[in-house]
Structure 1
Amino acid sequence: MAGVARLAAISLDCSEPHPLARFYAELTGGEIAFSSADFVAVKGPAVWITAQRVPDHRPPTWPTGGIPQQVHIEFAVEDLDAAQTQAIAIGARLADEQPSPDRWRVLLDPAGHPFCLTTLVPST
């Protein structure tokens, strides 16, 4: 069944768009395609990821707390341990809460957004 639209980009609010965009470019093997003071677009292999400056941005306090998760992205990987090590090396942090670490790993990007590395999502 054909859809009405296709996913073109995921936009993330943050206080510093350039470091966040560089992180996602390295994580996905993408490249920075556009950059201004307040907005950076990363052209990824499957979808664009953009980082946009938001005044007084506060990162989510996942999994509990007063600031809810604002977005959640799943990245398919072949090897959880290797992918986690590489993501941390380029600026991610391992989340304290790990609901199912044998199936997926929850990390936080440089702006504090949670994302997962998983082997459960088929690669294309």
Structure 2
Amino acid sequence: MALVNAGVVVLDCAEPEKLAMFYKELLEAEETDATANRVEIKGADGFRLALRRDMNATPPSWPRPENSLQAHLEFVVDDLDAAERRVVGLGGRPMETNHAPGPLEERGYADPAGHSFVLRRTPPTAPKQG
């Protein structure tokens, strides 16, 4: 029997209700629990994400080195262009990266509260370099 049965990724933010709406729409998820300071959602594949109120939360500065990458999410998609349109339409924004021009295997974004995440065409196969 596993010691840990489930995990939840938790993102701190000033307005968990608003950020939960972004991820509910992006992931086509449902809200499973909500309190005054936390909203938890669950995607169709079982992925769980919680948004916790922290009035002093500051967004990471990735890709800049100061206050850099605290954590990020990766989502696998079939169509990067369609997924990008959805992210931007929901209030997310593309992040500048050092990728070469042309078709990209992954693209970086920030959610409305500034947390970084990546849309990937395929699951990662090698460790990140740098």
Q: TM-score range by the shorter chain?
A: 0.7 to 0.9
Residues 6-39 of structure 1, C-alpha deviation per residue, up to 9 Å, x if partnerless? 5521100111101111111111110112122211
Is 1:15 matched with 2:14? yes
Distance in structure 2 (CA, Å) of the matches to 1:120 and 1:102: 11
Which residue of 2 is the match for residue 25 of structure 1?
24
Which letter does structure 1 place at the counterpart of 2:115?
H
Residues 57-103 of structure 1, C-alpha deviation per residue, up to 9 Å, x if partnerless? 11011111422222111101001011111111111101122536611
Q: Does the Cα contact within 8 Å between 1:23 and 1:90 map onto a contact in 2?
A: yes
Which residue of 2 is the match for residue 56 of structure 1?
56
Which residue of 2 is the match for residue 91 of structure 1?
91
Which residue of 1 is the match for residue 113 of structure 2?
111
Partner of 1:82, secondary structure, is helix
Q: Does the Cα contact within 8 Å between 1:107 and 1:116 map onto a contact in 2?
A: yes
Which residue of 2 is the match for residue 102 of structure 1?
104
Cα gap change, 1:4 to 1:63, in 2 (>3 Å): same
Which letter does structure 2 place at the counterpart of 1:74?
E
Distance in structure 1 (CA, Å) of the matches to 2:73 and 2:3: 22
Q: How many residues align?
A: 121
| Structure 2 residues without counterparts, runs of 5 or longer | 125-130
Q: Which TM-score applies when normalising by structure 1?
A: 0.87
Q: Which TM-score applies when normalising by structure 2?
A: 0.83
Q: Does the Cα contact within 8 Å between 2:19 and 2:51 map onto a contact in 1?
A: yes
Distance in structure 2 (CA, Å) of the matches to 1:81 and 1:7: 32
Which residue of 2 is the match for residue 73 of structure 1?
73
Identity of aligned residues (%): 36
Cα gap change, 1:93 to 1:74, in 2 (>3 Å): same
Partner of 1:33, secondary structure, is strand
